[in-house]
Homo-oligomer: A and B are copies of this chain.
Amino acid sequence: MKNDPKDNNGQLRRREFLTTVAAASGLTFIPGLGSAAHNNVPGSESKLTVQQVIDLILKEIPGAPFPQTVDTIKSGDGQQRVTGIVTTMFATVDVIKQTASLGANFIIAHEPTFYGHLDETAWLENDPVYIYKKELLQKHGIAVWRFHDYWHTHKPDGVLMGVLTKLGWQQYYNANNPRMIVHPGATLGAITDHAKKSLGIRQVRIIGDRKQICKRIALLPGAAGGTAQIKVLQKEKPDVLLVGEVHEWETAEYVRDAQAMGSSMSLIVLGHSQSEEPGMEWLVPWLQPRVGELKVTHITSNNPFQEA
């Protein structure tokens, strides 16, 4: 997260310093040493550190690094050498175990690790679930970095592009208004079924008439919040809004009242994790060429719920 000229200078100075120390001490492995020069050379023995991977990513993000962001390292150390990278929505216990079994030690997760947007852990210090997860990460030496604000800021928004690609709707992408898709037209039922099938979702929740024709489609994966979601409805007047998650007292009630008023504006709630998962899958082909021989793998964290 430090890629402005000042920090680059700092990093160069640190690297020169380490080279000097290595020569003097006879150390054969210097974490992070030389990786910027070697990381695109297949077969090179050098590996990137967690921070170097982060820095490679942030070079592509307009305005990065941000003074305020939730995209911080949640576990591990920026200086540790990366053995393999996993992208996912949530660094769940299961995803951590799968990461370890792959021999990878760096999880790039879109969402929090410790059950809150800011990943505050003071209130969890004595919590058995938190302790178990923290120790599991430590045992396997796995670093976790959140890639949320930056990925949404990438041009184009990496999550949105992943979702559009998975939906087969890339051709409708409009850089001037990325949230809006102008579709040839299909019923709400057909749009719902298409979204479920292409995103691999067992069931969604909708508000609307399945027979209504939808052409103007607004796409807000994740949980943007009621104000943001409703402002898109106000501005774009879509036939349907696809979101990951709502507050049930906000967007859902707005759409219900709109329909009672006679509007055909409808809503599809996909589920948070599955609505953005394609964005972390789309990260793999984006990131792989930037990290050379390091293997980048997507592990789906799946929908935690069963319908009952």
Contact = CB atoms under 8 A, between A and B. Distances in A.
Interface string A244-284: 11011111111111101101000011011100000000000
Interface residues of A, number: 57
Contact of A250 (B116, B123, B203, B227): B116
Contacts of A129: 254, 257-258, 261, 263
Most buried by B among A189, A223, A247: A247
A196 B307 CA distance: 12
A255 B304 CA distance: 9
A205 B115 contact: no
A87 to B, nearest CB: 17
A123 B196 CA distance: 33
A203 B308 contact: yes
Interface in A33-66: none
A150 interface: no
A90 interface: yes
A267 to B, nearest CB: 9
A182 interface: no
A307 B203 contact: yes
A308 B93 contact: no
A31 interface: no
Interface in A103-139: 111-112, 115-117, 123, 127-129, 132-133
A226 B115 contact: yes
Given A116-B227, A210-B308, A306-B206, A247 B245 contact: yes
Interface string A272-308: 1100000000000000000000000000000011111
Given A115-B230, A248-B245, A304 B132 contact: no
A273 to B, nearest CB: 7
Nearest to A196: B308
Contacts of A256: 92-93, 304
Nearest to A117: B249
B205 A306 contact: yes
A273 B250 CA distance: 12
Contacts of A133: 257, 261
Interface in A175-229: 189, 192, 196, 203-207, 210, 223, 226-227
A16 interface: no
A204 B203 CA distance: 12
A249 B112 contact: yes
Given A94-B260, A248-B272, 16 more contacts: A90-B253, A92-B257, A112-B253, A115-B249, A115-B254, A116-B226, A116-B250, A123-B231, A127-B234, A128-B263, A129-B257, A129-B258, A204-B308, A205-B305, A207-B306, A269-B305
